[in-house]
Amino acid sequence: MNLYKYILTQVLKSITLFFVLISFAQASNIKNSATVFMYHKFGVSKYPSTSVTIDQLESHINEILKEKYNILSLDYIVDTIINDGDLPENTIGISIDDADKSFIEVGWPLFKANNIPVTLFVTTGTIANNNKSYLNWDQIRKLKNEGVTIGAHSHTHAHMPDLNIDDVKAEIELSNKIFLKELGEIPTLFAYPYGETSDEIIKLIKDYKFKVAFGQHSGIINETSNMYYLPRFSLNEKYGEIDRVKFAASSKGLGVYDFIPSNPTITENPPFIGFSLLDEKLSTSLNCFIFDMKGQVDREIFKFNERVEIRLSRELSKGRSRINCTAKDSKGNWRWYGHQFYN
C-alpha cells in the first residue's frame, strides 16, 4: 500500500511538472498573431497617400487568397484573442477607413467577389453633410446588408487628443446617436481618426462599451496587444507594394508587455521608451526605429535580458511619431511591434 502511494505521488508530481513546463513555455511566447490591413481609397490617383491603385489592390487580393493565409473578420479575430482562443496560422483582417465612395465602386466589388470579410469605419459627420466624395446612408445600409461590418470612426474626424474631454464625449455620443438612427445599432468596433488617442480617450472608449479600438501604427495583433490601441498596416500607393504586403501578412507578434510611456499622447519629450519581451531570446536580433515628421530619430538601445530601454537623441517633432521594432525568431519568422506617439 505504501509502495502504491509512493508511485501514485511520483506520477502526480510528474504530471504537475509537465503542465508547469507547458504553461511556462506558452507564457514565454505568444500563441496568436493577426495582421490587419487598412485602406482608405481605391483607384483615386489624386490622393496617392491614402489610395491604392486598382492593380495594387488586385495583387493584394491575389496574394492573401493563397492557401497559406486565413482571412477572417475583425470581430472574429478580436473575439478569439479576448476569449483566449486559437487563431489559424497567418490570420489576416481587412479594414477600410472613412467610407470613401471608391469603396463601393471599386474596393467592395473585388472583396465581395472573393468572399473577403471587411470592416468599414464610418465618420458620421462626413455622411451627414452629404459629401459626394463619400458614401450616403442608403449605400452604407446596402453594404451592411451584404455583409460589411460597420465600425465607428468619430463624428468629425478631428485630432481627438487636441479636444477637451467633453468635446470628445460629444463626438462619441453624437456619432452613436446617428448610428442608432440610421442602422438601428451602435458599432462595437472603433478606429481613432489619424490613429491618435490618449489615456483619457481610451478610458472613454471603454466606458462607451466599444469592444476594441484600432490605431494606424504598424504591428501584429496578439494577446499582449492593448485591445484599445490595436495596430494596422496602412496601404497606399507608396506603401502598397506587394513585397510589403507579403512581409506583413507572414509576420508574427513580438510579444511585448510593460511598454512605457503607456499614454500614446506623450507628456515628456523626448519620451523614455521601454518594454519587456515575453521571449527574451528575441532581444538578440531585436532592432527598433523611430520616425517623426522630420524623419528618422537617432536612438540608443539598451538590452537587459527581457527588458529593452530606448533613449532618443532629440525631442520628437509636433504631431505623430512611430516606433517599429522587429526581431527574427529561431524558426526564421519575423516578429513585429509598433506604437504611435502624439504630442
Residue 4 CA to residue 16 CA, distance in Å, equals: 18
Residue type, 163: L
pLDDT in tens, the chain (343 residues): 454 454 444 444 444 433 333 343 444 579 999 999 999 999 999 999 999 999 999 999 999 999 999 999 999 999 999 999 999 999 999 999 999 999 999 999 999 999 999 999 999 999 977 788 999 999 999 999 999 999 999 999 999 999 999 999 999 999 999 999 999 999 999 999 999 999 999 999 999 999 999 999 999 999 999 999 999 999 999 999 999 999 999 999 999 999 999 999 999 999 999 999 999 999 999 999 999 999 999 999 999 999 999 999 999 999 999 999 999 999 999 999 999 999 9
Residue 97 CA to residue 119 CA, distance in Å, equals: 9
Residue 264 CA to residue 287 CA, distance in Å, equals: 21
Return the H-helix or E-strand segment holding 29: none
Q: Tell me whether strands 287-292 and 273-277 are parallel, antiparallel or unpaired.
A: unpaired
Angle between helices 242-250 and 54-64 (to 10 degrees): 30
Give the HSE-up count for residue 239: Cα atoms under 13 Å, Cβ half-sphere: 13
Contacts of 235 (CB under 8 A, 6+ apart): 37, 38, 39, 52, 56, 60, 244, 245
Contacts of 67 (CB under 8 A, 6+ apart): none
Cell numbers of 32, please? Answer: 496568436
- Specify the 3-state DSSP secondary structure of 93: strand
Size (the chain), residues? 343
Residue type, 4: Y
Cell numbers of 39, please? Answer: 485602406
Residue with cell 506603401: 239
Residue 155 CA to residue 325 CA, distance in Å, equals: 33
Closest CA to 336 of 225, 243, 240, 220: 220
Closest CA to 231 of 91, 20, 34, 42: 34
Q: Is the dihedral of CA 152, 74, 144, 71 positive or negative?
A: positive
Q: Given this model, what pLDDT does residue 28 score?
A: 58
